[in-house]
Amino acid sequence: MDFSLTKTQQQMAEALSNLGKYVIRPMSLEMDRTHVVPEAFMKQFVALAGSLRSDEVNAALGESVERPAPTRDKPTQANRTALVGAEWMAWADASLLLCLPGPGLGGPPIRATGTREQKKKWFGMLEEKNAAGELAWGAYGLTEPGAGSDVSGIRASCRKDGDSWVINGRKCYITNGARASWTVVFATVDPELGRGGHRAFVVEKGTPGFSVGKIEDKLGLRASETAELVFDDCRVPAENLLGGEDAYGSRSTGFQTAMKTFDATRPLVAAMALGIGRAAHEYARDFVKDRYVLSRPIARYHVLADRLARMHRKLEGARMLVWKAAYLADTGQPNAKEASMCKAAAAQAAVSACFEAIEICGAEGSIQGEHQLLEKWFRDIKVYDIFEGTGQIQRVVVSKRLFPDLRAF
């Protein structure tokens, strides 16, 4: 593995660092308080990002351009580039990253399973809207009130009726669910079939029978929209079945689509967690530098230095796991185990970093105020050990690959 960044990645990190420090962070607490990212800023950000984009960045963002699958002989940098962008954006403000227009989590399942025509239609719809100056999003609808980490337990139903499919059920905790132009929705033809009954559909906003329920009021990531979606005899055209009828047959294509999505998104979520954890570590490090002379032989000072060193070591170790998962994807190799490993490790390292930073900084770190971002990061970070599969589920995934013949997992 090469641990150096390409010129494009270095430029992206530098640009996002400056933007985060001088533009995004000064807005961060206000966005957290109002639960809103200003639309004018998002339009400016999209325009700025468009002017800086290269082929490497286009690939990382999941453009609909057809590209050959990566191999060891012909690797890509798409996944690594996406991780660099995710970490630096989360370092600035993780809520803003989740709010940015584009396919979002709905992109990976369409890229993994969608036909050429479906990719062109659904990605093209967002590109056309954004080109016209209209902000547009995609979304990913998998989690249900009774099935989150246990993907095989979804109960939203679907049945074929002529040239349409009829969907019934509820989805919860859907990022950008209320504003999305379309949502990739998972349902089952029969819960008794388990993963074999899963189907994935693209449901457009405004489809009869498809409505938005409540918008969640959350502990952290408060500027990010998280919605409940309701399907009441929602009728979608047969051509909206992701991959088409022939892609399913006797195979568990719907379930595999969800799993392939996690293989792509778990390293991204891990990179976001690292961004928040690194922000907290830097805050605590600078706090200690400004207030203590660590070279003095005082026991407390040695303890502070040791805690900061341990935080840094855990975050750096987790980053290596994240980059390995990206390396495997960029060279066309399976990365399910590594995606789960890095997601579990990065979330734990970042949660620990935020907790340690709060303890090191004391009252200054835990009291809300004009400049107190640490308290916000402490609230934001917890969900990274929960969504995209809890830490417990990641350990189950890894265990299954360590002991493939054991059914206890």
Span 288-324, pLDDT tens digits: 988 877 667 777 788 899 999 999 999 999 999 999 9
Could you tell me if 203 and 234 are in contact, meaning their C-beta atoms sit under 8 angstroms apart? yes
Residue 237 vs residue 249, higher pLDDT: 237
CATH topology of domain 7-109: Butyryl-Coa Dehydrogenase, subunit A; domain 1 (1.10.540)
The candidate with the shortest Cα–Cα distance to 66, out of 105, 21, 118, 131, is 118
Assess whether pLDDT exceeds 80 at residue 26. Answer: yes
Instruction: Tell me the average pLDDT of the chain.
Output: 90
CB 249 within 8 A of CB 326: no
Cα–Cα distance, 406 to 409 (Å, whole number): 7
The pLDDT value given to residue 153:
87
CA atoms within a 13 Å half-sphere pointing along the CA-CB vector of 342: 29
Query: Would you mind telling me the total number of residues written for the chain in this entry?
Result: 409
- CATH number for the region 254-402 comes to 1.20.140.10
**Phi, psi dihedral angles at 146 (to 5 degrees):** -115, 10
| Annotation says 388 is catalytic | yes
Instruction: Give the class (CATH, top level) of 137-251.
Output: mainly beta
Write the DSSP string, 355-381. HHHHHHHTHHHHS--TT-HHHHHHHHH
- From residue 337, how far is each of 15, 89, 172, 217, 324 by CA, in Å? 32, 25, 26, 33, 11
Q: Determine which one of 87, 144, 228, 388 is catalytic.
A: 388
Task: Give the CA distances from residue 376 to residues 16, 21, 108, 222, 373, in Å, rounded to whole numbers and listed in that order.
Answer: 20, 16, 29, 10, 5
pLDDT tens per residue across span 329-358: 999 999 999 999 999 999 999 999 999 999
Q: H or E element: which one contains 329?
A: helix 299-330
Taking residues 86-93, report their average pLDDT.
97
Q: Where are the domains of the chain?
A: 7-109, 137-251, 254-402
